[in-house]
Amino acid sequence: MNNLEKVFTPNLTTKLIIDSVKKYLHSIDNSKENYSYLEMGCGSGEISFELYDFIKDFDITLSDVSPTAIEKTKKRFATLNNNLNFFVSNL
């Protein structure tokens, strides 16, 4: 397995990011605009998955350089009724 095949494991920093973004999302009125959400370097998709209840009406795009990460993320979101875009890319 090369370095591109490894998938990031969430940690305390991930939790802090999620909490900060949730706080911001509570402060906006998303009924007035169509919002887009892009997570570059999504890894396992932990951040987007934890934010899903807040962003499910957004145009959601998840990207990672690792095909393995994107496949794991797709599986994670498979049970949700959503319209997500996934890209393997080194943005």
Q: How far apart are CA 67 and CA 7, in angstroms?
A: 10
Helices 46-55 and 67-77 cross at an angle (nearest 10°) of 40
Residues paired with 45 in a beta bridge: none
**Average pLDDT of span 58-72:** 93
Opening angle at CA 81, ends 39 and 35, nearest 5: 40
Q: What is the pLDDT of residues 20-33, one digit of tens each?
A: 999 998 888 767 67
Model pLDDT, residue 30: 67
Q: Residue 45's closest CA among 16, 74, 22, 6?
A: 74
Model pLDDT, residue 1: 47
Single-letter code of the amino acid located at 77 = F
